[in-house]
Structure 1
Amino acid sequence: MNIRLFSTFIVLSVFISSFSCSNKANRSRKPAVRINAESVHKKIVYGDDINISIAVKVKDGELKETNIFVDSVLVTTNKNTEFNYTLKGFKSLGKHTIKAQAVKADGVEGVYFKTFEVLSDVIPEKYGYEVVQTYPHNETSFTEGLEIHDGFIYESTGENGKSFLYKNNLKTGKTVKSVKLADKYFGEGITIFNNKIYQLTYKTKVGFIYNLENMALIDSFHFESTEGWGMTHDEKYLIMDDGTNILTYLDPTTLKAVKKLQVYDDKDQVLYLNELEYSDGFIYANLWTTNLILKIDPQTGKVLAKIDLEGILTLSNTDKQVDVLNGIAIDPVTKKMYVTGKLYPKLFEIKPIKKE
Structure 2
Amino acid sequence: MKISSIVLSILTYISVDSIIAQHNHGDYIDLNPAYRVKLSGSDSFDHLHTYQKDKFFVEGFEFLSDDLMIQSAGLYSGSEIHLISIDHDKHQSKIVQKATLPSKFFGEGCTAFKNVIYQMTYREKKVFLYDQKTLESKGTLDMPEIMVEGWGLTHDSKNLYASDGTEYIYKLDPATFHVVGEIEVKDNGKNVEYINELEYANGFIYANVLPHNIIIKIDPETGNVVRKYDFGSLKKKMIKSMHNLFWDDQNNVLNGIAYRKSTNTFFVTGKNFNQIFEVMLN
What band does the TM-score fall into relative to the shorter chain? 0.7 to 0.9
The answer for the alignment partner of 1:197 in structure 2 is: 117
Which of 56, 77, 89 is matched with 1:161 structurally? 77
Q: 5 Å matches for 1:305-316?
A: 305-316=227-238
2:281 and 2:41 map into 1 onto residues whose CA distance is 11
Q: Deviations over 1:123-162 (max 9, x none)?
A: x9931332201111112x0000000121112100100011
Q: Is the 8 A contact 2:41 2:230 kept in 1?
A: no
**1:206 to 2:126 alignment:** yes
Q: Does 1:240 align with 2:131?
A: no
Is residue 129–residue 309 contact of structure 1 (8 Å, CA) maintained in 2? no
| Equivalent position to 1:295, from 182, 194, 217 | 217
Structure 2: how far apart are the matches of 1:132 and 1:222? 40
Q: Which residue of 1 aligns with 2:32?
A: none
Alignment of 1:59-138 (within 5 A): 126-138=42-54
Q: CA deviation at 1:265?
A: 1.3
Distance 2:149 2:104 in 1: 14
Residue 46 of structure 1 corresponds to which residue in structure 2?
none
Residue in structure 1 matched with residue 272 of structure 2 by the alignment: 343
Aligned to 1:146: 61
- Give yes or no for contact 1:272–1:287 (8 Å, CA) kept in 2: yes
Question: Could you tell me which amino acid in structure 1 is paired with residue 78 of structure 2?
Answer: K
Secondary structure of the residue aligned to 2:105 is coil
Equivalent residue number for residue 44 of structure 1:
none
Q: Which residue does 1:334 correspond to in 2?
A: 263
CA contact (8 A) 2:59 2:256 kept: yes
Between 1 and 2, higher relative CO (CA 8 Å, sep ≥ 6) is seen in 2
The equivalent of 1:176 in structure 2 is 96
Q: Which has the higher strand share?
A: 1
Aligned residues: 230
Q: Who is 2:226 aligned against? A: 304
Structure 1: any 5+ residue segments left out of the alignment? 1-123
For the residues of structure 1 that align with 2:46 and 2:261, how far apart are their CA atoms? 20
Larger helix share, 1 or 2: 2
Question: What amino acid is aligned across from residue 62 of structure 2 in structure 1?
Answer: E
* 8 Å contact from structure 2 (residues 265, 281) kept in 1: no
Aligned AA for 1:178? Answer: K
The reply to whether residue 352 of structure 1 matches residue 277 of structure 2 is no
C-alpha distance in 2, partners of 1:125/1:160?
Answer: 32
State the partner residue of 1:274. Answer: 196
Structure 1 position 169, deviation (Å): 1.5
The structural deviation recorded for 1:213 is: 1.3
- Shift of residue 319 of structure 1? 2.3
Q: How many angstroms does 1:209 deviate by?
A: 1.0
What residue is the counterpart of 1:254 in the other structure? 176
The separation in 1 between residues aligned to 2:211 and 2:53, in whole angstroms, is 20
Secondary structure at 2:232 match in 1: coil
The one-letter code sitting in structure 1 at the alignment partner of 2:273 is Y
SS in 2 for 1:174: strand
The two structures have a TM-score, normalised by structure 1, of 0.62
Instruction: Compare CA radii of gyration and give the structure with the larger one.
Output: 1
Q: Which runs of 4+ in 1 moved over 4 A?
A: none
Task: Give the match's secondary structure for 2:242.
Answer: coil
TM-score, with structure 2 as normaliser: 0.78
- Asked if the contact 2:118–2:128 (Cα under 8 Å) also holds between the matched residues in 1, the reply is yes
The 1-side partners of 2:188 and 2:172 are apart by 27
Q: Which runs of 5+ in 2 are unaligned?
A: 1-39
Deviates more, 1:278-287 or 1:149-158: 149-158
Deviates more, 1:330-339 or 1:124-133: 124-133
Residue of structure 1 equivalent to 2:185: 263
Q: Which amino acid aligns with 2:242?
A: T
Cα distance in 2, alignment partners of residues 260 and 211 from structure 1: 28
Tell me the distance in 2 between the aligned counterparts of 1:313 and 1:261.
29
